[in-house]
């Protein structure tokens, strides 16, 4: 299979490396002027891996025209712009695989909706989601992930073509639930980091249990299957997001409550805003996500906000 990977950051470069390793002909695209792409062109290396000679590099997005499958790994809020660029070069008959986790801030759309509406029915959309960190994959530590799509043939083909020794792929059965769950776990990751920063990490157990429960409600309200919140795309990704030293979202939350800046992308910062708006629109209660939003956007004191979760009215667990 000929594959173009759009996005040469930490995850995109790993995907190019991994798909080459599983036998595909891969081109990695990065913007002209991108520091990451400059390093690959000059040294074939970044901070995590060395790209094999069999992987090609390009700074011209029209390289996607020659691919059978286009894998996109960029910031979630940049997807609309990149889809517009792909639409302009006239791609058709492609499978577009989205490897980001988020919700479009300006519209509240899931990322498959953003891509589908921009690129049209002549291209098929799938998502690649679930737990895993580049630092561990590169060391040979395996994990399980999910591929989902509204097109059963596309889903089946990608699971078969992308599976390898490092990643066991499962067939997703709920595109809505998997996308919302994957996006929401980054918000829970920020909350976990805030607990770490405040020295109350012992509450992570309660955070995971109650966080999964509230995301279950949001998924159902959006028309998905609430049980997806307990799958690989949400609860199954908590170890990598709520506890791992490699988690950008957890680290962002930890530094935020300490008054320190974080220079890496934390998708949960952007995702929490449309999540809260979707919940209000559907009349769904998301207490943890609401507290994270209030801390990040409404200048709520972190300790006061998180402590407030324990002064809510007493109720049954289920």
| Phi, then psi, of 148 in degrees rounded to 5 | -135, 155
Selecting among 94, 185, 204, 273, the annotated active-site residue is: 185
Q: 76 with 111: CB under 8 angstroms? A: yes
Report the candidate in 257, 134, 144, 119 with the shortest Cα–Cα distance to residue 201: 257
Same domain, 17 and 99: yes
Query: What pLDDT does 312 receive?
Result: 66
Q: In the predicted model, is pLDDT for residue 318 greater than 70?
A: no
- Which of 171, 195, 223 delimits the end of a domain? 171
Largest CA distance in the chain: 60
pLDDT of residue 316: 66
Residues sharing a CB contact under 8 Å with residue 166, sequence separation 6 or more, in sequence order: 18, 21, 137, 140, 142, 143
pLDDT at 308: 85
DSSP state of 103: B
Same domain, 219 and 195: yes
Q: Looking at the structure, do residues 75 and 220 belong to the same domain, yes or no? A: no
Average pLDDT over every residue of 284-294:
97
Shared-domain flag, residues 214 and 285: yes
Is 79 within 8 Å of 72 (Cβ atoms)? yes
pLDDT digits (tens, 9 = 90+) for 96-142: 999 999 999 999 999 999 999 999 999 999 999 999 999 999 999 99
User: What is the rounded distance in angstroms from the CA atom of residue 223 to the CA atom of residue 278?
Assistant: 12
Q: Identify the pLDDT of residue 309.
A: 85
Q: Is 60 contained in some domain? A: yes
Query: 314 in a domain, yes or no?
Result: no
Q: 231 and 121, same structural domain?
A: no
User: Is the per-residue pLDDT at 311 higher than 90?
Assistant: no
Q: Can you tell me the distance from the alpha carbon of 255 to that of 30, in angstroms, rounded to the nearest whole number? A: 29
Per-residue model confidence as pLDDT tens digits over 132-158: 999 999 999 999 999 999 999 999 999
As a whole number of angstroms, the distance between CA 56 and CA 74 comes to 18
Asked whether the predicted pLDDT for residue 304 surpasses 90, the reply is yes
Q: What is the pLDDT of residue 278?
A: 96
| Residue 318: inside a domain | no
Q: Are 123 and 204 members of one domain?
A: no
Let me know whether 187 and 216 are in one domain.
yes
Is 115 exposed, middle or buried, given 0-12, 13-18 or 19+ CB atoms closer than 10 A?
A: buried
Do 106 and 207 reside in the same domain of the chain? no
When pLDDT is cut at 50, 70 and 90, the band that residue 314 belongs to is low
142 plus 182 within the same structural domain? no
Average pLDDT of the chain is 96
Structural domain includes residue 195? yes
At which of 171, 197, 215 does a domain end?
Answer: 171
C-beta separation of 124 from 96 below 8 A: yes
| Sign, CA torsion 127/132/135/140 | negative
| Residue 152 DSSP label | H
Is residue 191 within 8 A of residue 200, CB to CB? The reply is no
In a domain, 150, yes or no: yes
80, pLDDT greater than 70: yes
pLDDT of residue 287: 96
d(CA 107, CA 142) in angstroms, rounded, equals 36
CB 96 within 8 A of CB 119: yes
Please tell me the distance from the alpha carbon of residue 46 to that of residue 59, in angstroms, as a whole number. 17
Query: Do residue 154 and residue 223 come from a single domain?
Result: no
* Residue 317 forms part of a structural domain: no
Per-residue pLDDT tens for 203-233?
A: 999 999 999 999 999 999 999 999 999 999 9
Mean pLDDT of 37-45: 96
Residue 100 domain flag: yes
The whole-angstrom distance between residue 302's C-alpha and the CA centroid of its chain comes to 25
Give the residue numbers spanning the domain of 112. Answer: 2-171
pLDDT of residue 310: 75
Q: Do 112 and 6 belong to one domain?
A: yes
Q: Compute the average pLDDT of residues 26-47.
A: 96
| CATH assignment of the domain containing 125 | 3.40.50.720
Number of domains in the chain: 2
Identify whether 316 is part of a domain: no
Q: Which of 127, 146, 171 is the last residue of a domain?
A: 171
- Residue 104 CA: distances (Å) to CA of 76, 78, 83, 163, 226: 7, 9, 13, 29, 21
- To the query of whether residue 185 is one of the catalytic residues in this protein, the response is yes
What distance in Å separates the CA atoms of residue 76 and residue 303, rounded to the nearest whole number? 29
Q: Is residue 117 domain-shared with residue 133, that is, in the same domain?
A: yes
Domain with residue 270: its CATH number is: 1.10.1040.10
pLDDT for the residue 194: 97
- What is the percent of the chain where pLDDT is above 90? 96
Query: Residues near 280 by Cβ (< 8 Å), separated by ≥ 6?
Result: none
Per-residue confidence (pLDDT) for residue 307, from 0 to 100: 86
């Amino acid at each position: 299979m000929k594959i173009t990977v759009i996005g040469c950051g930490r995850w995109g470069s790993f995907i190019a490396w991994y798909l080459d390793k599983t036998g595909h002909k891969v081109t990695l695209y990065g913007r002209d002027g991108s520091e990451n792409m400059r390093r690959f062109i000059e040294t074939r290396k970044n901070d995590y891996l060395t790209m094999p000679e069999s992987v090609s590099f390009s700074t011209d997005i029209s390289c996607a025209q020659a691919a059978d499958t286009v894998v996109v790994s960029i910031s979630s809020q940049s997807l609309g712009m990149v889809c517009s660029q792909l639409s302009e070069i006239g791609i058709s008959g492609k499978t577009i695989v989205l490897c980001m986790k988020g919700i479009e801030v300006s519209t509240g759309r899931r990322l498959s909706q953003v891509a589908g509406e921009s690129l049209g029915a002549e291209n098929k959309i799938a998502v690649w989601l679930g737990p895993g960190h580049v630092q561990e994959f590169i060391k040979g530590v395996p994990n399980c992930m999910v591929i989902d799509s509204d097109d059963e043939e596309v889903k089946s083909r990608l699971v078969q073509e992308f599976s390898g020794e490092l990643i066991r792929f499962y067939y997703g059965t709920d595109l809505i639930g998997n996308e919302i769950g994957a996006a929401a776990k980054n918000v829970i990751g920020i909350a976990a980091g805030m607990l770490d920063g405040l020295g109350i990490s012992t509450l992570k157990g309660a955070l995971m249990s109650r966080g999964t429960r509230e995301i279950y409600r949001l998924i159902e309200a959006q028309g998905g299957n609430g049980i997806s919140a307990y799958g690989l795309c949400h609860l199954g990704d908590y170890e990598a997001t709520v506890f791992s030293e490699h988690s950008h979202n957890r680290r962002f939350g930890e530094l935020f409550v300490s008054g320190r800046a974080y220079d890496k992308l934390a998708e949960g910062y952007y995702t929490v805003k449309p999540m809260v708006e979707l919940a209000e629109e559907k009349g769904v209660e998301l207490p943890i996500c609401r507290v994270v939003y209030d801390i990040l956007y409404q200048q709520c004191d972190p300790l006061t906000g998180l402590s407030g979760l324990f002064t809510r009215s007493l109720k049954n667990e289920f």
